Amino acid sequence: MRLLTNAAQVLACVARDPGSRLRDIATCVGITERAAHRIVCELEADGYITRHREGARNTYELHPDLPLDQESDSVVPVGALLRLLIADPRDEDRAVA
């Protein structure tokens, strides 16, 4: 059972490494490259990321201030979720009791 959507997992992968290739993102999430590409395009269209071309590669800029759910009155920013997802569990200051 997965508790997080593939989109949330893609965002976490990009947050860990903004220079990730689609192949890397797909492997990180456990999906196909085609699915990773579709999700990255959706995240870009929704404003969660901006894709920058650097030579032959893309880098991604996250926009962590956007709300988790743009279709509701949610005020929780996506950055709050990402901080939890990419936190080092060995970091006692961020550990969840």
Domains and CATH numbers, the chain: 6-86 (1.10.10.10)
- Mean pLDDT over each residue of the chain, to the nearest integer: 88
Measured in degrees and rounded to the nearest 5, phi and psi for residue 51 equal: -95, 130
What are the pLDDT tens digits along the chain (97 aa)? 678 899 999 999 999 999 999 999 999 999 999 999 999 999 999 999 999 999 999 999 999 999 887 776 778 898 988 988 887 666 655 444 3
Contact between 22 and 36 (Cβ < 8 Å): yes
Closest by alpha carbon to 58, among 89, 14, 11, 21? 21
Could you give the CA distance from residue 49 to residue 68 in angstroms, rounded to a whole number?
Answer: 13
Outline where the chain has alpha helix (H): 6-16, 22-29, 33-45, 78-86
